[in-house]
Amino acid sequence: MAGTLYIVPVPIGNLGDITQRALAVLAQVDIIACEDTRTTRQLLKLLNIQPRQCISYHEHNEKQRASLLIQRLLQNLNVALVSDAGTPILSDPGYVLVTQAIEHNISVVPLPGPTAFVPALIASGLPPVPFVFVGFPPHKKRRKKFLQYMLSFPATVVCYESPHRLLKLLAELEQLDAGNRRACIARELTKYHEEFLRGSVSELHLLLQQRSTIKGEVVVVLEGAPSKATNEANVP
Ligand code: SAM
């Protein structure tokens, strides 16, 4: 019999967001596969958990580590996958491991828990359903195409972006005729300086240009493209 692969979300800022179930799983599993073992060890210390074994599993060793972890799972060991913050696999490593576990008929148990895009979406004031989560826009190659694609969905769009590329992103969206789209920037979610900035893309661009720096982590929520049905309904 094989072990179980648990996918365990961890807080994105506020330690109080760890779930009882996550605590129990992290305390019990044989191996914790961590994006960065130092970051996870610090977290486990704060949570008073003594891990049996932590091993690194990050984007640069993902394939090789996935094979090793599959071997361990097939030897009936239980494994928890965590990332530095939030839910693994969502703009974080883990997809390779999960697909391989499924191929080997290993039981995959995902725990619900912290992630950045859900709180950003539900507090944005934009329609929460339907929505599309697109992760990080690419930095250079294909960025424009990606943004055009992102703007084409008739659904609220949620993306991640680094704070130092945020002004660039807003300027690019304006250049792509999305300046009037409603948007929300959710910054430092669950942390002391949590902030929601709401307005049109152009208004938010202007507002943020007036700040000397943009600190912390951000999620961008953007109004979707007008749906075909809406367009047709609007035709006089
Ligand atoms: N797997 C994580 C999740 O479930 O949200 C996301 C990891 S991704 C590498 C990191 C990005 O998530 C950041 O650049 C930011 O866009 C977003 N993020 C993470 N924590 C955040 C926070 N506390 N406030 C706002 N955005 C956050």
Fold of 117-229: 3.30.950
Architecture, CATH, for domain 4-110: 3-Layer(aba) Sandwich (3.40)
Q: Does 35 contact ligand 1 (Cβ within 6 A)?
A: no
Q: Kindly report, residue by residue over 143-193, the tens digit of the pLDDT.
A: 999 999 999 999 999 999 999 999 999 999 999 999 999 999 999 999 999
- Residue closest to 30 by CA, chosen among 66, 79, 75: 79
Using the mean position of ligand 1's atoms as its centre, give its distance from the Cα of residue 62 in Å: 20
54 φ, ψ to 5°? -115, 130
Q: Kindly report, residue by residue over 62-94, the tens digit of the pLDDT.
A: 999 999 999 999 999 999 999 999 999 999 999
Q: Does 85 contact ligand 1 (Cβ within 6 A)?
A: yes
Enclosing H/E stretch for 132: strand 131-135
Q: Kindly report, residue by residue over 93-106, the tens digit of the pLDDT.
A: 999 999 999 999 99
Say what the pLDDT of residue 227 is.
76
CATH 3.40.1010.10 domain residues, the chain:
4-110
* Cα–Cα distance for residue pair 27/125, rounded to 1 Å: 38
CATH 3.30.950.10 domain residues, the chain:
117-229
- Mean pLDDT of the 128-140 span: 96
Q: Does 87 contact ligand 1 (Cβ within 6 A)?
A: yes
Q: Does 92 contact ligand 1 (Cβ within 6 A)?
A: yes
Whether pTM exceeds 0.75: yes
